[in-house]
A = this chain, B = another copy of it.
Amino acid sequence: MTRPLNLEEVGRRAGVSRSTVSRVVNGGPNVSSETKRRVEAVIAETGYRPHAAARSLASNSTGVIGLVIPSAVATLFDDPYFGRLILGISSATNEVDMTLALFLFGAGPDESSIISRVVAPGLVDGVIVTATTRGDPLIDHMQGTSMPFVVVGRPDNAGSTFCVDVDNRAGARTAALHLAGLGRRRPALIAAPSNTTAGVDRRSGFLEGLAEAGLSIEDRIAEGDWSQESGRDAMARLLAERPDAVFVASDRMAVGALRAIREAGLHCPGDISVVSFDGIVPPDLTAPRLTSVVQPVTEVGERAVRLLTAVIAGASTPEHVVFPTELAVRESCGATPTAGA
C-alpha cells in the first residue's frame, strides 16, 4: 500500500516525471514556475528527502568530508585545541552544506583498517588530516591514493601537499624577543613534543629569537607532552636552573608551569616571566593571566574546509596557507603591572 517515497513517487503525485522533480530539488534550470510550485507543494506535504546514497552514487560526490585524527588518545581531547578545531571545521562544513565524518585512531586496535575505510570510494569526498607526528606514514599513504586531502599543520614533506598551518616559528620568535625586551636574561623553554612539527617549529623559532637578542638558553630546556601535568613537571625541573623567564609551547602546559612556580614559592611574573603559545585558555582562568602567542584555531579549521573543497573541485598546485599569530600581552610576562602587586 505505502509506496516508497522517492523521486518517481513525488513525480507521480505532482503529475510530472522523475527528471523534473530532480531539477526542482537541485534548483536546476528549465522548470516552469508553475510546475515548480506544484512539485514543491508535494515535497512539502510528503516530507520527501532525497536519498543521500543514491545521490552519491549517481553524482559521484557524497557531500561528506572526513576529519582524521590519528593517535587520538584521551589526553588529546583534554586539550581545548581540538574542540576548537572541530568547531571551526564543523561550522564551515555546515556553511557549505556538507557533513563531517570523524575518524579517530589509536583508540581502536587496527588503525590500518580505519584508514582504508577513510579512503574507500563513495564515503567521503575528501579528508582533513591533523595531529600527525613526524614521519607519520599516514600522509604518505594518503598521497598514494586519489583521495583529495589537506593537512592541518606542517607535514615533513609539505612541498607536495595542501596544508593550513599557523606560523609557529614566527610566533615563538616573537615570544623570545618579547621576553628579551623585558630585560630577562635567563630564559627557559618548555617545548612541545619534538615528534611534531609544531613542537619543532616553536622550539626553533624561540631559539632563533633568543639568538637575535643575544641570549642563550644553555640547559634550560625541557620537553612536555602537551599535558598540563607535563608542563608542571617540566617547570619544576627547570626551576633548578633558576630561569627568570620561560616560554611554554602550549597554554595547557603553561597552566601546569604556573602551578609549579606557585608551588615552589616563587612568583610570576616577579621571579619568572611566562609566555605561552595558543591563546586558547580563557585569560581569567589563570592567575596571573597568561601572556600568550594567539593562534587562530577556528579560522584554521574553516580555512582547511575551504581549501579542501578547492582540492575536491580539482585544484592541483599545492597551496600552503600560513596564518599569522598575535602576541596577546597580559600579566604573566610582567610587561603590564600586576593587578594585585
Which chain A residues have a beta carbon within 8 Å of chain B's beta carbons?
49-57, 62, 64, 72, 74, 77-78, 80, 82-84, 86-87, 90-91, 94-95, 97, 99-104, 107-108, 113-114, 116-117, 119-123, 228-229, 259, 282, 284-285, 287
A77 and B74 within 8 A (CB): no
Shortest Cβ gap from A138 to chain B (Å): 16
Chain B contacts of A259 at CB under 8 A? 287
Copies of this chain, count: 2
Question: When chains A and B are docked, how far (Å) is the Cα of A80 from the Cα of B75?
Answer: 10
Chain B contacts of A78 at CB under 8 A? 80, 83, 282
* Further pairs besides A51-B121, A77-B83: 8, Cβ < 8 Å: A53-B53, A78-B80, A87-B104, A91-B104, A97-B117, A99-B117, A101-B101, A229-B285
Shortest Cβ gap from A285 to chain B (Å): 6
A123 and B91 within 8 A (CB): no
Shortest Cβ gap from A115 to chain B (Å): 11
A107 and B90 within 8 A (CB): yes
A54 and B122 within 8 A (CB): yes
Question: When chains A and B are docked, how far (Å) is the Cα of A107 from the Cα of B49?
Answer: 24
Question: When chains A and B are docked, how far (Å) is the Cα of A64 from the Cα of B64?
Answer: 11
- Ranked 10 nearest A-B pairs via Cβ: A77-B83, A94-B108, A53-B56, A53-B122, A91-B107, A52-B122, A52-B123, A51-B122, A49-B120, A90-B104
Q: Which residue of the partner chain B has the closest CB to A114?
A: B94
Question: When chains A and B are docked, how far (Å) is the Cα of A57 from the Cα of B117?
Answer: 17
Question: When chains A and B are docked, how far (Å) is the Cα of A54 from the Cα of B63?
Answer: 15
Which one of B55, B64, B80, B282 lies within 8 Å of A101 (CB-CB)? B64
Question: 17 A-B residue contacts at CB 8 Å?
Answer: A49-B121, A52-B56, A52-B62, A52-B122, A53-B123, A54-B57, A74-B84, A78-B282, A87-B107, A90-B104, A94-B107, A94-B108, A94-B114, A100-B101, A100-B102, A100-B103, A101-B102
Chain B contacts of A56 at CB under 8 A? 52-53, 56, 122
